[in-house]
Amino acid sequence: MKLGFPSPSLLRRPLSSLFSASITTEINSPPRPLSSSPSLSLSPPLEYLQSVLSEIKLLFKTPQSYSSLTTLDSLLAKTHLLDSATSLILIDYLSQIKKLGRSKTIISHLKSRGRVSDSFLYSLVFDILVKDGRISDVDNVWGEICGSVKSFNFSNYVISVCRTGGVDEIKDIYERILMDAASILDKQTYVALSAALCNVNEGFLAKNLVKQMYDKGMTVDNWTYFLIFQCFCRNGNLEEADLALRKLVINGFSIDISIYGSFLHGLCKRGKHREANKLFRKLTKVGPPKERGLVLKEGRRVIFQLNCEGVVPKMMAYESYFRALCNVGKLNEAEILLKKMMSGTTLPEICVYGSFIKALFRAGRDEDAMKFFNVQKKKKLVRVNEIGRYVIMGLCDKGRVDDALLIFEEIGRMVNGGYLTVTSTLLMWNDLLACNSILKCYWKQSRVADAEVFFERWRLHGKIKVETCIIMINGYCSHNDVSKALVVFEEMLKSKMVVSGALYERLIIGLCDHGRANEAFKYLNVMIENGHMIFYKRWRSLFRSILT
């Protein structure tokens, strides 16, 4: 077993260097110090944490040492020094030396203080205290921690994971449910988890979950089958998508453009272009509606057995097929289709033009994208600023930020009908996507001064959004200027902007990289107590990033 404890000599150094010991390194491996100042004064929680970890290290070497256990318990009794961040670090280390009872005591203390969300505390029980146990065991231990008041359970935790969890958390829940076949969960839990699996493109796992619902005598609603259908279409798995569609048809689900559009995408992604074209022609065919009472046959795709002639608006069929072609780089076919659309009486939506411009840039046909933009600009059939943003984004993706800025100013002049500078363009045409693309490109090319000037002009003459501040913070951190990143972050807090856990993580790592352990610890504590740290595994990942 490998723990991230520092060597004995390092324990006499401040926690800013202790923080650099990796959880996955050997005990006596010398860590990279985060601070060049060994005499750096630490906050009381960090000094306390350093003392406790010294005893934990001794216990790792001699697990049954009575004196070390007594000293450890004496230190853990000083609950006034246990803030949220300190508590989580201790829980993590205590669990590594199998002192789960003491970990449980600290979790109970966190619960009684009421500053950490139930979802996060439950994840500690789920991932640490009852790591390999049954779901009922997790709920029982949670009940012991909560006492008589227990308003949160496994089903609530699953819903929380489905809403805000990542792939790892969602799959962990799925695997635990499958391992514990005897568990009794409500239908809402299964439905939410199935939807979450589809959202992360795990269609086969969602399908297995549906099978378990059947085995438990539960009915599966059409919405669940629809999400599974869409997931398989996105992944180009036409056979599984067809099976899900068969269920939808049998259940009387209303088949509309969302079904046909998804299958068109799946056909194109799979390279079934003849079938995609056949389906498109069927959708746009004009004729009398066929009789109802469809009987599905085996051995033929369900989508081609449906009575789909004229059931969706013609323009929507064109747009769905066009976007599918653009997504797979079939630009010649897409261009022919676009000309047919533009020759009609109803113009396509702006997203159609945008899809074509993006596809051209992806294919390396930058000049064709510019030519297309200029042609549409002269025709004046669509608003130039609405398609201009796609050109600016495409140019910035290719690193052509100066060319993008020329387009930006040109659009500003056209919007106002006269000459405009960058500053006045920001006032007249404050397009979030276009401006953020320019800003990102400046940072990517290390043009820090240009990024700062652009941001300042935008801040003075337009309403800055959260996404823009995040770009600036990430840019400053990437260029080793965490102090300026903190200035932007604090301005966000003063302006009541909604900040994310990822933003806290970026700043905490940046502070640690510069040996500013006290500040990093302060932000880590605020992050936890403000509910930005939702699950234990996410916290563990951040902690490892700090340590390494």
Q: Which pLDDT band, with edges at 50, 70 and 90, does 30 fall under?
A: very low
Buried/exposed code over 450-488 (b: 16+ C-beta within 10 A; e: otherwise)? bbbebbebbbeebebeeebbbbbbbbbbeeeebebbbeb
In the predicted model, is pLDDT for residue 444 greater than 90?
A: yes
Q: Tell me the pLDDT of the chain averaged across its residues.
A: 86
| Confidence (pLDDT) at 227 | 97
In the predicted model, is pLDDT for residue 29 greater than 80?
A: no
In the predicted model, is pLDDT for residue 98 greater than 60?
A: yes
| Confidence (pLDDT) at 290 | 58
Among 61-70, 98-107, 187-196, 206-215, the minimum mean pLDDT is found in 61-70
Cβ atoms within 10 Å of 524's Cβ, excluding its own? 28
| Confidence (pLDDT) at 17 | 42
Q: In sequence order, what are the residues at sequence separation of 6 or more whose Cβ sits closer than 8 angstroms to the Cβ of residue 261?
A: 316, 320, 323, 324
In the predicted model, is pLDDT for residue 172 greater than 70?
A: yes
| Confidence (pLDDT) at 293 | 56
* Mean pLDDT, residues 374-395 taken together: 90
pLDDT above 70 covers what percent of the chain?
A: 87
In the predicted model, is pLDDT for residue 182 greater than 80?
A: no
Among 11-25, 94-108, 293-307, 482-496, the minimum mean pLDDT is found in 11-25
Write out pLDDT tens, residues 387-435.
999 999 999 999 999 999 999 888 877 766 554 455 555 544 568 899 9
DSSP letter at 167 equals H
In the predicted model, is pLDDT for residue 37 greater than 80?
A: no
Write out pLDDT tens, residues 124-151.
999 999 988 899 999 999 999 988 666 8
| Confidence (pLDDT) at 309 | 76
Q: Which pLDDT band, with edges at 50, 70 and 90, does 331 fall under?
A: very high
What are the start-end ranges of the E strands in 240-328? Answer: none
Q: Which pLDDT band, with edges at 50, 70 and 90, does 26 fall under?
A: very low
| Confidence (pLDDT) at 538 | 87
pTM: 0.84
Q: Which pLDDT band, with edges at 50, 70 and 90, does 181 fall under?
A: confident
Q: How far is it, in rounded angstroms, from Cα 450 to Cα 471? A: 14
Write out pLDDT tens, residues 99-128.
999 999 999 999 999 999 999 999 999 999
CA angle 146, 148, 152 (to 5 degrees): 50
In the predicted model, is pLDDT for residue 301 greater than 60?
A: yes
Catalogue the long-range contacts made by 394-397 (C-beta closer than 8 Å, 24 or more residues apart).
394/357, 394/358, 394/360, 394/361, 394/366, 394/369, 395/361, 395/366, 396/437, 396/438, 396/440, 396/441, 397/361, 397/437
Contact assessment for residue 476 and residue 430, using Cβ atoms and an 8 Å cutoff: no
Among 185-199, 383-397, 450-464, the minimum mean pLDDT is found in 450-464
Buried/exposed code over 298-317 (b: 16+ C-beta within 10 A; e: otherwise)? eeebbbeebebbbebeebbb
pLDDT above 90 covers what percent of the chain?
A: 58
Domain boundaries, the chain: 313-380, 383-464
Q: Which pLDDT band, with edges at 50, 70 and 90, does 547 fall under?
A: low
In the predicted model, is pLDDT for residue 197 greater than 60?
A: yes
Write out pLDDT tens, residues 209-251.
999 999 989 999 999 999 999 999 999 999 999 999 999 999 9
